[in-house]
Structure 1
Amino acid sequence: MTQQLNTLTPSQDLDFIFELMVGPTRMAVLKTAIDMKLPDILETAQEPKDIAEILEVEAGESNLIYFLDAMTALGFADKENGTYTNTPFSKSYLLTTSPTYLGGMVDNISQMQHRNLLRIPELILQGPPKVENRNKLDREEKWKESARHLANYQKADMAKRTASLISSLPEYSNIQRMLDLGCGPGIMCMEVVSNHPTMEGFLCDMPPLIEVAQDEIAAAGLESRIHTIAGDYNEIDFGQSYDLIWTSQTLYYVKDFSTMFSRIYKALNPGGLFLSLHEGLTCERTQPSDIVLSRLSLALEGQDVSFEQGEIASYLHEAGFYTIEIRIMDLPFGPSELIIARKSR
């Protein structure tokens, strides 16, 4: 996580500057390891000469060794007696055969986060550019392209976090119907349902993402307990009589918040729960720093979708929720605002 300068001692200030300067190198090593599929290669070849042969290196092994040493420095490889092997980290997240491979997700997200970084002075002076259609956040095909990579991330981390969170709620044993609104690949809802003896799950998202979710449902053998609703949640009927409605990183595409939260309220049974997990910017939209920085490129091109802390909760008050609880969850991409809203019985 990025440190704040006002929390550093004078002796740490220079450490912070040098830490910032090495950041692009870290990202370049990660991206190159993914692009060249070096973790895959290390599964079968550990000697530099053998790795060089697979890569068809033409100019000796010295630069390859420098790069493998950099991978080792970052924890992507282990080195012993001049040979290299994958670390558990690489086996889990950088090996293409791993069910939690995150290379595709890194490619997709880094493209969004980094594409404007070399143009910052231009964008400050000239304002947001016209966004190419392929880079628009609300393009259905864009999210279908990334949905399978997002599924791997949810399998690696968020699904288990979500299931643990929901199972800790006092109402958990009585939840029979859960709606994941804007579900993406649907892995989080699937994990929750599979850990509950009788719960049914309903996944709602655009048709291209529901196609991915249906593949995941079939692979998990949950066809009898997970159902899908395809369409724009602003326009379609996403059902009624839910005990729990879950939304995570998806409310950016709501067209009318008052209308949407009124619909969510009506779709819940008496005593039902609405859970929202999104960022909540503070300090006049300057914190949490990791969230602000990771979304700078999008913001500079006119695609700032971040919520301020308390913004979602204000709509829930208007919709009539009985109690609204706010927690801060530390997630891999930065602190996020978890809202637990309860409908009166």
Structure 2
Amino acid sequence: MNSSSLHPLHACWDLAASAVRAEALDTALDLGLFEELLQPSTAAQLAARRGLHAANTAHLLELLWSIGLLQRQPGEPARYELAPVAREHLARPSPRFCGDAWRYRLASLRCLSGRLRQHVEKGPRLTDSPFQSATGAGWASAARAQIGQEQRAVSAAAALAILERLPQAAQARRLLDLGGGPGWIAIALAQRFAQLEGVVFDWPETAAVAHENIEVAGLGGRLQAQGGDIAADPLPTGFDLVWCSSVLHFVPEVAATLDKLMAAMVPGGWLVCVHAELSAEAEDAACVMPFYLPMRLAGRHVLAQGGTAAALAAAGFSDIEQTTSGLFPMAPVQVVVARKPAAPAQAQACHV
């Protein structure tokens, strides 16, 4: 149907319908239906195997087909099988499965959006820390499970795609993965670039998870996990490549964090910042705002389009380039690459 023929309020009605689509996917994941559909099946066959109501199972499968997660074979009764995206990411046997990660995001957004009116009426609670990232055993558990799943299935491949197009990555020798969580991005980069060594820096409980993953990957001789507070503790130094993804949203002061990153890098080193930003165009902002509105209501940083690049320039970085990537979970992000200026020639000569 041509969108121009739809009622002007269709977008509002579609917002209500999106809750049904999300519930359908959540239900299918919870019931293990994607694993059942690794081989084509009718709704009645699937319902019989899982002890479900046959007619309503058929309705659910039809909805999942309508949103592109299932393929439907012609015939009566219809037979369903997984669409490629579901086979790769929503069926648990797949090494790129991230269904648990999606359900974790859904639950988080439901919880946060449920407090939206309270935030608008009264602002954040005094007990809320607007810049505190998740810490402690709860976040470490998520890093080991849902967040780790998302990083392995989606984010690590996205990071590789970005750095494989950055010629400087092939020459880099020492990597800092700032706020690297379970460490799968650093692991993927070390596996791709054999010369690379480095450090994953995150809260102590999460760094412990990264350490476990590094050891399992057999990279303990090249990668370390270091725990600490990005805002309060000193960062390790000597890096010629820094990966910083979705970290600046949570720090108390963006400028102070960029100053610390500058100090952690060697002259001529490269910083890759990956963060969501808010476009001045409504259509582009609509792709970002739903995921980051709860964060903004809590007082965290979500910069306007070009804000990260401007902050890097103000911090003294040079050779700044910005592109948009849709390869990461949730919303499109801005990938900003910047260079720490090389040491002056005279200083280099004295050092030699």
Query: 1:210 Cα shift?
Result: 1.8
Asked if 1 retains the 8 angstrom alpha-carbon contact of 2:100 and 2:149, the reply is: no
Cα distance in 2, alignment partners of residues 130 and 61 from structure 1: 50
Q: Secondary structure at the match of 2:15?
A: helix
Asked if 2 retains the 8 angstrom alpha-carbon contact of 1:278 and 1:336, the reply is: yes
123 and 175 in structure 1: CA distance in 2 versus 1, 3 angstrom threshold:
closer
Q: What residue in structure 2 maps to residue 65 of structure 1?
A: 58
The one-character-per-residue Cα deviations of 1:3-44 (angstroms, maximum 9, x if unpaired) are xxxxx8575746545543432221111111111121123347
Cα distance in 2, alignment partners of residues 166 and 141 from structure 1: 31
Q: What residue in structure 2 maps to residue 308 of structure 1?
A: 304
Cα distance in 2, alignment partners of residues 219 and 88 from structure 1: 29
Q: Which 10-residue stretch deviates more, 24-33 or 107-116?
A: 107-116
Q: Secondary structure at the match of 1:283?
A: coil
Gaps of 5+ in 2: 343-352
- The yes-or-no answer on 1:184 pairing with 2:181 is yes
Q: Which 10-residue stretch deviates more, 89-98 or 277-286?
A: 277-286
Q: Which 10-residue stretch deviates more, 176-185 or 157-166?
A: 157-166
Query: 1:229 Cα shift?
Result: 1.2
Asked if 2 retains the 8 angstrom alpha-carbon contact of 1:181 and 1:246, the reply is: yes
Cα distance in 2, alignment partners of residues 35 and 281 from structure 1: 33
Q: Secondary structure at the match of 2:249?
A: helix
Asked if 1 retains the 8 angstrom alpha-carbon contact of 2:48 and 2:54, the reply is: no
1:46 to 41, 46, 51: 41
Moved over 6 A (4+): 130-133
Task: For 1:215, give the aligned amino acid.
Answer: E
Q: How does 1:80-95 map to 2 (within 5 A)?
A: 80=73, 81-95=77-91
Q: Secondary structure at the match of 1:273?
A: strand
219 and 99 in structure 1: CA distance in 2 versus 1, 3 angstrom threshold:
farther
Task: For 1:251, give the aligned amino acid.
Answer: L
Cα distance in 2, alignment partners of residues 159 and 20 from structure 1: 31
Q: What residue in structure 2 maps to residue 215 of structure 1?
A: 212
Q: What residue in structure 2 maps to residue 27 of structure 1?
A: 22
Q: Percent identity?
A: 24
237 and 76 in structure 1: CA distance in 2 versus 1, 3 angstrom threshold:
same
1:102 to 98, 101, 125: 98
Task: For 1:28, give the aligned amino acid.
Answer: E
Gaps of 5+ in 1: 1-7
Query: 1:109 Cα shift?
Result: 1.1
340 and 69 in structure 1: CA distance in 2 versus 1, 3 angstrom threshold:
same
1:156 to 135, 153, 158: 153
Query: 1:241 Cα shift?
Result: 1.4
Task: For 2:21, give the aligned amino acid.
Answer: R
Give the alignment's Cα RMSD to 1 decimal.
3.0
Query: 1:54 Cα shift?
Result: 4.1
Q: Which 10-residue stretch deviates more, 163-172 or 173-182?
A: 163-172
2:230 to 227, 233, 237: 233
Normalised to the residue count of structure 2, the TM-score between the two structures is 0.82
Q: What residue in structure 1 maps to residue 345 of structure 2?
A: none
Report the number of matched residues: 333
Q: What residue in structure 1 maps to residue 324 of structure 2?
A: 328
Cα distance in 2, alignment partners of residues 335 and 230 from structure 1: 29
Query: 1:179 Cα shift?
Result: 0.7
Cα distance in 2, alignment partners of residues 132 and 96 from structure 1: 36
The one-character-per-residue Cα deviations of 1:112-156 (angstroms, maximum 9, x if unpaired) are 2222545655554444457789xx753333422322322332333
47 and 228 in structure 1: CA distance in 2 versus 1, 3 angstrom threshold:
same
